[in-house]
Amino acid sequence: MIAKISFVAILSLLHILPTSLVLYAKATSRGRDTLELSIGIGSGSGSGGSSKDCGDELLGNTDQSQCSQEKIPLLGPIIQAPLLSPVVQAPIVQGLLNFIDQRLALLRYLYELDLSNNKLSGPFPTVVLGMTDLIFLDLRFNSFSGAVPAQIFTRDLYVLFLNNNAFDQTLPDNLGNTHVLYLTLANNKFTGPIPRSIAGAPSTLTEVLFLNNRFSGCLPYEIGLLDETVVLDAGNNQLTGPLPLSLFCLEKVEQLNLGGNLFYGMVPEPICWLGLNRNLVNLSLSDNYFQHVGPWCRALIEKGILNVRNNCIPDLPFQRPVADCARFFAQPRPCPRMWSYSYVPCRNAHLESLVPGIAPSP
Ligand SMILES: *[C@@H]1O[C@H](CO)[C@@H](O)[C@H](O)[C@H]1NC(C)=O
C-alpha cells in the first residue's frame, strides 16, 4: 500500500513538471532479494560532462550500481537528482512487474526504463508498449521468456537491450524497422533464420549481436547492407551455407564473428581483403566446416586476424578430423537463392580486380 501512495504522489507531481523521467528498477547492492525502485526526474535538455557510460559494455555484466545514471548520450544527464530514493522496496523482485501496472504507461515524459540485472521472469512486459515516449528500454540480464512483441521493433526506441534472457521465438519480419543503435539479441534462445528484412535497418545500427542463440538457416545476402556496422557477431548458432560475398560491403566492420556455426565452402577472398585494407581486425570463423582459404585469407591468418581453427581445410593445422568433415558433408545443406551468394550489393572500385567476372550490381 505504501508503494501505491508514493506512486500516486509522484504521478501528481509529474503533472506539474514537464521534464523527463527515468525509471530504474535495480537489485540493490544490499542483496538480490530486495528491489530498490527509484524514480528520478530532471531536465531532459541538460548539458554537461558524463562519467562512466555503462552502456558501452553491452554484454558485460557490469555492476550497474557503479555506473553513472547519465547513460543517454543524446540527452545528457537525465537524472540530476533522485527525487525520492528509494520510493519503494518490494520484497521480491517479481513483485516489481505487478507494481509497474498499466498506470505506468500513462506517465508522460517516461523516456527510459531500465529493468536490467534483476531476476525478472515471465513474458515480455507488454506494459512498455503503452509507454509512448519511451526511447530507452533495457531488459538485459533477466529471465524473460517467450516472444518479444513485433511492435517493439517499429517503435522509436534507439536503445533496446534484450540480451541475456530466455526469449525463444523466431525473429519477426519487421526486425529491420528498428531504430536501435545496437541490436542486442545475444544469449537468448532465438530460433529460425536471420530475416532478410534486416536490410531495412537504418544506418545508425552499429552493433549486431546475434551470438549464442539457436539461429539456423543460411545467412541472407542482405546482411551485407548493414554498411555502418562495426561489430557483427553471430557466433555459436546453427547457421549454415556458404558466406555471402555481400559481407565484402561491410566496409566499417571491425569485429566479424561467425565462429561456432555450420558454415562451409570457401572463405570469400574479398572478405579477407577487408582485413588487409579496411577496418577488420578480428575475423573469427573457427568451429565451422570451411574447406578452402585463398591467398588473402592466408595472409590474414598470418597476421592473427583470421581464425579458422577446427574447420575442414586440408592443408592447415588444427582442423577437424576427416571423419567429422565427411559426416557433415554427407548431408546436403542447400541454401535458397544460390545466386545471391555471389551478389555484391555495393560498389567498390577494387572488386573487379578481387573477383574477376563479378561485377557490382547496378
Ligand atoms: C576475436 O573474436 C572472437 C570471437 O568474438 C573472440 O573470442 C576473440 O577473443 C577475439 N580476439 C581478439 C584478439 O580480440
Q: Whose CA is nearest to atom 6 of ligand 1?
A: 284
For 20-33, what is each residue's pLDDT tens digit?
A: 445 554 433 333 33
Is residue 149 exposed (0-12), middle (13-18) or buried (19+ Cβ within 10 Å)? middle
Rounded to the nearest angstrom, the distance between the alpha carbon of 264 and the centre of ligand 1 is 20
Q: Residue 45 above 60 pLDDT?
A: no
Sole residue written with cell 536490467: 116
pLDDT of residue 122: 87
Q: Is residue 357 part of a domain?
A: no
pLDDT of residue 132: 81
Q: Is residue 52 part of a domain?
A: no
**Is residue 236 in contact with ligand 1, taking CB distance under 6 Å?**
no
Rounded to the nearest angstrom, the distance between the alpha carbon of 53 and the centre of ligand 1 is 23
pTM across the whole model:
0.77
pLDDT of residue 44: 36
12-26, 49-63, 322-336, range with greatest mean pLDDT: 322-336
Higher pLDDT, 10 or 307: 307
Count how many domains the chain has: 1
Q: Residue 36 above 70 pLDDT?
A: no
Q: Is residue 279 part of a domain?
A: yes
For 259-293, what is each residue's pLDDT tens digit?
A: 999 999 999 999 999 999 999 999 999 999 999 99
**Is residue 311 in contact with ligand 1, taking CB distance under 6 Å?**
no
Q: Is residue 194 part of a domain?
A: yes
pLDDT of residue 121: 84
Domain span at residue 181 reads 168-345
- In ligand 1, which atom is closest to the CA atom of 233? 5
For 154-210, what is each residue's pLDDT tens digit?
A: 888 988 999 999 999 999 999 988 889 999 999 999 999 999 999 888 788 999 999
Rounded to the nearest angstrom, the distance between the alpha carbon of 146 and the centre of ligand 1 is 30
Q: CA 225, CA 189: separation in Å to the nearest integer?
A: 25
Rounded to the nearest angstrom, the distance between the alpha carbon of 290 and the centre of ligand 1 is 19
The order of strands in the sheet holding 31-42 is 81-90, 31-42, 20-28, 110-114, 136-138, 159-161, 182-184, 207-209, 231-233, 255-257, 282-284, 306-307
- Percent of the chain topping pLDDT 70: 66
The predicted model gives 325-329 an average pLDDT of 98
Q: Is residue 5 part of a domain?
A: no
For 114-169, what is each residue's pLDDT tens digit?
A: 888 877 888 998 878 888 888 889 999 989 999 999 999 988 898 899 999 999 99
Q: Whose CA is nearest to atom 1 of ligand 1?
A: 282
CATH of the domain at 172: 3.80.10.10
pLDDT of residue 237: 98
Average pLDDT, the chain: 76
**Is residue 257 in contact with ligand 1, taking CB distance under 6 Å?**
yes
Query: What letter does residue 90 receive in the DSSP assignment?
Result: E
Report the half-sphere exposure of 32 (CA within 13 A, side-chain side): 9
Read off the pLDDT band of 54 (50, 70, 90).
very low
**Is residue 154 in contact with ligand 1, taking CB distance under 6 Å?**
no
Q: Is residue 291 part of a domain?
A: yes
Q: Is residue 259 part of a domain?
A: yes
Contact indicator for 310, 319 with CB cutoff of 8 Å: yes
Sole residue written with cell 545500427: 205
Give the Cβ contact number of residue 172 at 10 Å.
18
Q: Is residue 67 part of a domain?
A: no
Contact indicator for 221, 248 with CB cutoff of 8 Å: no
